[in-house]
Each structure stands twice: as structure tokens, then as C-alpha cells.
């Protein structure tokens, strides 16, 4: 109840406006979303341990870059996750030669616990929550952990603490964007080490 009242007050004080056309109502209105070029592509990733990479949009698209940067840095736009997730869903509906995703388990790229506390939410987790509803597949939130906080260099930053939950699984690894692939490579390495059978990356945008 309190949360609902809080959200209502928040919506009155800070009405949602479209990041592109400034129209009130949503962070990305349907008209502007319809103008975005949603890709139907997925390609084997050039990085080791990642079997395939799915991406909905090009990060170089001005609006996409703006949405993702705001999702990352502005805690008050947590709900932007729903809009960005709908782009991934639109992409999945376009993509062909897909595996049977009902056999997969979702894992978001984790944040370090200190960073999570500071930001209040993990943007990759928000996307993964939307995807678990759409794909009707399980979501694992505590099995892959970020143990290094450093921004420079993500080498060996991730570990799987509970090997039994990962062993033999097909993993759909979720993040907001893929630029150099370094973060996803390190996550995939940790998942492979824990015995994951297949690891596919999925992001809103690829750089
Ligand atoms: Zn708009």
C-alpha cells in the first residue's frame, strides 16, 4: 500500500516523459519505439565461452544510447527496464534459428554488492525479470557473483559459488549492453568453469 502511494506521489512530482519526443506517459512512447530499428540478428560471439550473442538494437543509435546511459546512472528510472526489456522481446520475436529457450535458465550479469547497495538495483536483473515472465523460464539471482569491485579490468571478477546449480545447464546471460564484451566474457568463463553446457548472451544493445 505504502509503495503504491509512494509511486503515485512520485509520478505526480516527476511525470514520466518520453526520452525522445518528451510526450508525457512513458519513458519510451509507442510511436518512438516503433521508429527504432530492432534487429533480428544473433551471431556466434567472438569471445571465448559465449556460444551466441543476441542483441536488439545498435548502441550507436542516439536514442538507444541515451536510454541505456540513463538506465545505468539514474536510479529513479528503474522502470525504464520494462521499456528496454520490451525491445529484447521484440527482437526475440524477429530472430530466427533460435534454440528452444524453454530449456534455458536466465542469469543477469551481477553487480558487486557494494555497488548494488549504492545504486539500489541491478539493471541487468531488471531486464532478466522481464524476460523470465516472457520466456517462462527460471531466473537465478544469487548463483553468479561479482567478487571484484574495480572498474578497471574485470579479469576474474566473477565466480559461481554453487556449482551444482550451474552444472549441465543452458544459460541465457543477460546484460543491458555489449561493447567490448569483456564483462560478458568473464561471466561466461566463470559459468563454463562451473560446468554450464551452453552460454548465450542477450543484451538490449551492441556497440
Ligand atoms: Zn516518444
Domain range for 31 = 1-35
Distance 18 CA to ligand 1 centre (A): 5
Domain count, the chain: 2
Give 36 Cα–ligand 1 centroid separation in angstroms.
Answer: 11
Distance from Cα 32 to the centre of ligand 1, integer Å? 4
Q: Same domain for 140 and 98?
A: yes
- Say whether both 4 and 66 belong to one domain: no
**10-residue mean pLDDT series, the chain (207 residues):** 72 83 93 94 89 96 93 77 95 95 97 89 94 97 91 87 92 96 95 97 96
Q: Is the pTM of this model over 0.75?
A: yes
**Can you give the pLDDT at residue 13?**
74
- Spatial separation of the C-alpha atoms in residues 51 and 103, rounded to whole Å: 15
Q: 9 alpha carbon to ligand 1 midpoint, in Å?
A: 23
pLDDT score of 15: 81
Burial of 12 (0-12, 13-18, 19+ CB in 10 A): exposed
The pLDDT assigned to 176 comes to 95
CA torsion angle 71 93 197 194 (round to 10) = 10
- Tally the residues of the chain: 207
- Looking at residue 189, its pLDDT comes to 96
Tell me if 184 sits within 8 A of 173, measured CB to CB.
yes
pLDDT at 75: 62
- Distance from residue 34's CA to the centre of ligand 1 (Å): 9
Q: What is the pLDDT of residue 76?
A: 64
pLDDT at 38: 96
Gap between the Cα atoms of 32 and 122, Å rounded: 25
**16 and 88 belong to one structural domain:** no
Asked whether residue 93 falls in the same domain as residue 186, the answer is yes
Answer yes or no: do 12 and 66 share one domain. Answer: no
* 20 Cα: distance to centroid of ligand 1 (angstroms): 5
Rg, Å, the chain Cα set: 17
Residue 126 Cα to ligand 1 middle (Å): 22
Q: In this structure, what C-alpha cell is assigned to residue 186?
A: 568473464
Q: What is the pLDDT of residue 170?
A: 98
Amino acid at each position: 500500500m505504502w509503495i503504491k502511494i509512494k509511486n503515485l506521489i512520485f509520478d505526480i512530482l516527476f511525470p514520466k516523459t518520453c526520452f525522445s519526443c518528451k510526450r508525457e506517459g512513458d519513458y519510451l512512447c509507442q510511436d518512438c519505439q516503433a521508429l527504432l530499428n530492432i534487429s533480428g540478428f544473433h551471431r556466434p560471439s567472438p569471445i571465448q565461452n559465449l556460444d551466441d550473442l543476441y542483441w536488439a538494437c545498435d548502441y550507436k543509435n542516439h536514442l538507444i544510447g541515451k536510454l541505456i546511459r540513463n538506465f545505468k546512472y539514474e536510479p529513479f528510472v528503474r522502470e525504464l527496464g520494462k521499456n528496454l526489456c520490451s525491445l529484447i522481446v521484440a527482437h526475440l520475436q524477429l530472430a530466427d534459428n533460435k534454440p528452444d529457450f524453454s530449456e534455458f535458465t536466465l542469469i543477469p550479469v551481477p553487480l558487486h554488492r557494494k555497488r548494488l547497495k549504492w545504486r539500489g538495483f541491478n539493471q541487468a536483473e531488471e531486464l532478466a525479470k522481464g524476460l523470465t515472465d516472457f520466456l517462462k523460464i527460471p531466473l537465478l539471482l544469487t548463483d553468479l557473483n561479482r567478487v571484484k569491485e574495480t572498474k578497471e579490468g574485470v579479469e576474474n571478477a566473477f565466480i559461481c559459488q554453487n556449482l551444482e546449480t550451474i552444472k549441465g545447464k543452458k544459460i541465457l546471460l543477460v546484460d543491458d549492453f555489449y561493447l567490448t564484451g569483456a564483462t560478458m566474457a568473464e561471466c561466461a568463463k566463470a559459468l563454463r568453469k562451473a560446468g554450464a553446457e551452453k552460454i548465450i548472451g542477450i543484451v538490449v544493445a551492441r556497440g
